[in-house]
Amino acid sequence: MNEPLIELRRITFAYPDRPVFADLDLSLRRGDRVALVGPNGAGKTTLLHLIVGLAPPSAGQILAFGAERRIERDFQTVRARVGLLFQDADDQLFCPTVLEDVAFGPLNLGRPSAQARADALETLDLLGLSGFAERVTHRLSAGQKRLVALATVLAMRPDVLLLDEPTNGLDEATEERLTNLLAGMDQAMIIVSHDRRFLQRLATRAVRLADGRLTEATLHSHGHSHYHTHVHLHAPGVASEHVHPDAELDHELDLG
């Protein structure tokens, strides 16, 4: 039975100046690659932070790997199995060199130094960064920092990936490589992105966050003369019809 790896139940959360979530539910199972979309400021990044305990809810339950998580100690084990890619790479990179940054996570998990170094080098090679090990991190370009930040996450070999705008700063060729890499991975994922093409190629399902609530969306394919996939949100109780092969009467999902 495919039990959820991560489950949020009736989560409520607010900042001092505004509410963010109200009775929000979400589950992530093995094999899921969930596109989390919605307008800017809806709380998509906050939702990822809740899952790893960086922001405590005011009400509701967070379950991860079969256990409820309430206090900081509970989330320490979650962070060992859930890799969070921050929206800003500079929030993730703090060591002098690329190799030190990427090896930090494996070392923190208790792997021997030689193993952590090997894992770091293997991950850099996987991302096309094999010559970057001794580079000074803060001197990298924005796109290079983005890939190094992702390497720090992947080197830990997590069971779940939470990816916050993973294609920011990447050129087309690098994005293509990243898309193919992620598509071949077994980890369950929640992906926050405004990159429609990236989500269309990678996500297995989609949810939209707006006005404090999540709405299930569908990854919807059309039989056009040219075939491609659109992300759509169906209004509750409204059937979607295609009167003409190129007509799209359902609501296209707002990526923000």
Give 90-108 pLDDT, tens digit per residue. Answer: 999 999 999 999 999 999 9
> Residue 217: pLDDT band by 50, 70, 90 thresholds?
confident
Count CA within 13 A, CB hemisphere, residue 135. Answer: 18
Say whether pLDDT at 219 is over 80.
no
117 touches 103 (CB < 8 A): yes
Provide the pLDDT for residue 1: 64
Residue corresponding to tokens 């809810």: 57
The stretch 177-193 carries a mean pLDDT of 95
Q: Mean pLDDT for the chain?
A: 86
Q: Taking the model in full, what pTM does it have?
A: 0.85
Closest to 36 in 3D by CA, of 239, 238, 27, 242 = 27
The stretch 225-234 carries a mean pLDDT of 38
Cα-Cα-Cα-Cα torsion 202, 127, 194, 238, nearest 10 degrees, comes to 10
> Residue 243: pLDDT band by 50, 70, 90 thresholds?
very low
Say whether pLDDT at 125 is over 90.
yes
Tens of pLDDT, residue by residue over 66-93, are 999 999 999 999 999 999 999 999 999 9
CB atoms within 10 A of CB 240: 13
Q: Which two tokens stand for residue 120?
A: 């770091």
Provide the pLDDT for residue 255: 55
Q: Exposure of 208 by Cβ count < 10 A (0-12 exposed, 13-18 middle, 19+ buried)?
A: buried
